[in-house]
Amino acid sequence: MAEITLSKLAHSYFAKPRGEADFALKEMDHVWQDGGAYALLGASGCGKTTLLNIISGLVTPSQGRVLFGGRDVTRAPTAERNIAQVFQFPVVYDTMTVRENLAFPLKNRGRDAAYVARRVDQIAKMIGMESALDRRAQGLTADAKQKISLGRGMVREDVNAILFDEPLTVIDPHMKWELRTQLKQLHREFGHTMIYVTHDQTEALTFADKVVVMHEGRVVQTGTPEELFETPEHTFVGYFIGSPGMNLFDAEVQGETARVNGIDVPLGAAYPALRGRVQIGIRPEFVSLAAEGLPVTVTRVEDVGRHRILRAEAFGRPVNLLLPEGEAAATGQTRLRLAPEKINVYADDWRVKPLGQQRGA
Ligand SMILES: Nc1ncnc2c1ncn2[C@@H]1O[C@H](COP(=O)(O)OP(=O)(O)OP(=O)(O)O)[C@@H](O)[C@H]1O
């Protein structure tokens, strides 16, 4: 296993990029710690697959270096990187049995028969295919074939990393949850470095210890699910994660007060003078109906099972809050209180640290 370092990495699919916009990946430095379970999360087209393919060696970056445990592998072919990969769609040998498919990576590396048998049994159990081990892969459903691909990706214990690119797309919803749980269990047992690409926040948040959020070719935040929820470092993290995402208001911030369309909103801390587009952000979980505060017009209330979402409009922009159980929903005009200590402040989309936390915080 190995720590994976990306140093001054950038990639453009153009032979002669004319500017930053031509780069699918903007310059980045990033370290994937040895043994970490990471999700790489972002909207379609943000560069997740490009980044994964650079780590695996399928794409050579136009700039920067990739290091595996200190060894420069930037130009090394995939076969030399000692990694396992699981793609979105199944890659199985149709003429082989399930057992032979699972055993293939181990036999290829000359592991002894007893070890292979033991390991194949263990993996078959994990993917729930013990009873199908002697069946040919040909004729199995796409779902079953993808489980074999997953199993094969995880069968070797000695890989530097396992890379998953949206591996559960073809799996049925119930099995998805089960396989994710199994993957996590396997990570706990063997401590492989795992990088799991997805655009689904539930998948990312339930699988990973650390979620790496990408937006328009950049890593905008790497954090635990809790950090992404409490302190989104970029407005994109705020509204991409959460259901619904974070509310954002244009504001002028002075000291411990934000002014939103002429209304003073108290903040939980003091901020320095800010330039650029200044916004305050607050998650719907921390907004409540109140006698005083931001004036809004309620547009509708949605019952989403576990709770209700109140959707409203403030100064022509949508704003959402979660209604606590038993609380009556307001209609028409009302006011909202934003919990001061839960407000984050943003300048040009990046979170600003409050005064007193500016250095090393
Ligand atoms: N082979 C290629 N040639 C040219 N442009 C490409 C190529 N592959 C990807 N791109 C472009 O690079 C950008 C990033 O694509 P990438 O596939 O890495 O994103 P992604 O986040 O994985 O998206 P998705 O989830 O849709 O696969 C996109 O603008 C895409 O159009």
**Whether the Cβ atoms of residue 145 and residue 92 lie closer than 8 Å to each other:** yes
Ligand 1 centroid to residue 50 C-alpha, Å: 6
pLDDT digits (tens, 9 = 90+) for 104-117: 999 999 999 999 99
Q: pTM to 2 decimals?
A: 0.92
Q: Whose CA is nearest to atom 9 of ligand 1?
A: 50
State the pLDDT at residue 361. Answer: 45
50: Cβ below 6 Å to ligand 1?
yes
Task: Give 258-266 contacts, CB < 8 A, sequence gap 24+.
Answer: 258/343, 258/345, 260/294, 260/314, 260/315, 261/314, 261/315, 263/293, 263/294, 263/295, 265/293, 265/294, 265/338, 265/340, 265/343, 266/340
**Ligand 1 mutation target, pool 11, 28, 50, most atoms within 8 A of CB:** 50
49: Cβ below 6 Å to ligand 1?
yes
Task: Among 3.40.980.10, 2.40.50.140, 1.10.150.120, 3.30.565.10, name the CATH number for the domain at 244-352.
Answer: 2.40.50.140
State the pLDDT at residue 324. Answer: 86
Q: Whose CA is nearest to atom 8 of ligand 1?
A: 50
State the pLDDT at residue 76. Answer: 96
Domain 4-239 has CATH 1.10.10.10: no
> How many angstroms separate the CA atoms of 258 and 86, rounded?
47
The first and second tokens of residue 55, run together, are 């780590």
The first and second tokens of residue 37, run together, are 């379970």
Residue listed under structure tokens 């036999």: 107
Tens-level pLDDT at each residue, the chain (361 residues):
689 999 999 999 999 999 999 999 999 999 999 999 999 999 999 999 999 999 999 999 999 999 999 899 999 999 899 999 999 899 999 999 999 999 999 999 999 999 999 999 999 998 889 999 999 999 999 889 999 999 999 999 889 999 999 999 888 888 888 888 888 888 888 888 999 999 999 899 988 999 999 999 999 999 999 999 999 999 999 999 999 999 999 999 999 999 999 999 999 999 999 999 999 999 999 999 999 999 999 999 999 887 899 999 998 999 999 998 888 888 899 999 999 999 999 999 999 999 987 654 4
Residue type, 313: E
Q: How do the domains of the chain map onto residue ranges?
A: 4-239, 244-352
**Ligand 1 mutation target, pool 11, 48, 197, most atoms within 8 A of CB:** 48
Q: Whose CA is nearest to atom 14 of ligand 1?
A: 47
